[in-house]
């Protein structure tokens, strides 16, 4: 059987695809902001002198990193209501993505800080800087230089992972594509367009992150 492509059938739905892209970007942006905050808290917990904080941070990181994201989002959306905590699909997706990124960014940030020689901290103390100022002026940029490529890759991966939110009917690009497919019955074309949109968004962000890396974190040429 010869299949005849008909991408023209999707033209009336270009605004819906664009809206789906914006929803995916918004969901990803919110999740990145919250996830990075959770990552910083996770690092503080893992480096804390209080045993309960270390246990809580390590448990959170290991549970999230060693379970599928689909199970996580289904647990938050379908499981939490049994405890009296019901969330709307989009909110549940944002919570799941934030928790997921938080666990992975905890390890990325921790690795960056651990890569900084201990002498950097001692030099800051010798200059009379407080621990906060030592971290801000002496440790932060070298640590960011180490972790930025991994973090930027994690951000792009989060954008792609957001497509799983369609499994709980959260509105984003994949759910919009499913809606268009149910009307046009042009599954092949619909998901080719969706895949291309994800690809272009990923490439744009990857290029932007590489530009930021070269501009702010690359070593000066001798």
Inform me whether the pLDDT recorded for 1 exceeds 80: no
The one-character DSSP state at 120 is: H
CA-based torsion, 50, 97, 70, 79: positive or negative: positive
Cα–Cα distance, 169 to 23 (Å, whole number): 13
Look at residue 37 in the predicted model and tell me its pLDDT. Answer: 93
| pLDDT score for 220 | 58
Which pLDDT score is estimated for 115? 82
pLDDT > 70? residue 34:
yes
Could you give the CA distance from residue 147 to residue 149 in angstroms, rounded to a whole number?
A: 6
Cβ–Cβ < 8 Å for 149, 217: no
3 state SS of 199 = helix
Looking at residue 14, its pLDDT comes to 95
pLDDT the model gives residue 65: 95
pLDDT of 155 strictly over 90: yes
Is domain 14-216 classified as CATH 1.10.3720.10?
yes
Please state the pTM of the whole predicted model.
0.89
Name every residue whose Cβ is closer than 8 Å to that of residue 176 and which is 6 or more positions away in sequence.
16, 17, 19, 20, 23
Q: DSSP secondary structure string, 61-85?
A: HHHHHTS-HHHHHHIIIIIGGGGT-
Distance of alpha carbon 19 from alpha carbon 216, whole angstroms: 32
Which residues does 55 contact at the CB level (< 8 Å), separation at least 6? none
- pLDDT score recorded for residue 146: 85
pLDDT in tens, 89-145: 999 999 999 999 999 999 999 888 888 887 777 777 788 877 777 777 777 778 888
Among residues of the chain, what percentage have pLDDT more than 70? 97
The domain locations on the chain are: 14-216
User: What is the distance between the alpha carbons of residues 195 and 174, in angstroms, rounded to a whole number?
Assistant: 9
Distance CA 103, CA 108 (A): 9
């Amino acid at each position: 059987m010869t299949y005849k492509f008909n991408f023209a059938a999707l033209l009336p739905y270009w605004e819906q695809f664009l809206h789906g892209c914006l929803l995916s970007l918004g969901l990803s942006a919110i999740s990145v902001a919250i996830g990075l905050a959770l990552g910083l808290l996770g690092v503080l917990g893992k480096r804390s002198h209080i045993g309960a904080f270390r246990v809580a941070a390590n448990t959170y990181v290991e549970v999230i990193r060693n379970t599928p994201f689909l199970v996580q989002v289904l647990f938050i959306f379908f499981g939490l209501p049994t405890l009296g905590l019901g969330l709307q699909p989009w909110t549940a997706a944002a919570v799941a993505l934030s928790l997921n990124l938080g666990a992975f960014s905890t390890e990325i940030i921790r690795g960056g800080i651990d890569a900084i020689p201990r002498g950097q901290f001692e030099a800051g103390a010798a200059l009379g800087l407080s621990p906060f100022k030592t971290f801000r002026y002496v440790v932060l940029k070298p640590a960011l230089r180490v972790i930025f490529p991994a973090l930027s890759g994690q951000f792009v991966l989060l954008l792609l992972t957001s497509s799983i939110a369609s499994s709980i009917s959260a509105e984003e690009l994949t759910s919009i594509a499913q809606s268009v497919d149910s009307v046009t019955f042009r599954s092949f074309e619909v998901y080719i367009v969706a895949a291309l949109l994800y690809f272009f968004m990923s490439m744009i962000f990857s290029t932007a992150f590489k530009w930021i890396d070269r501009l702010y974190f690359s070593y000066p040429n001798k």
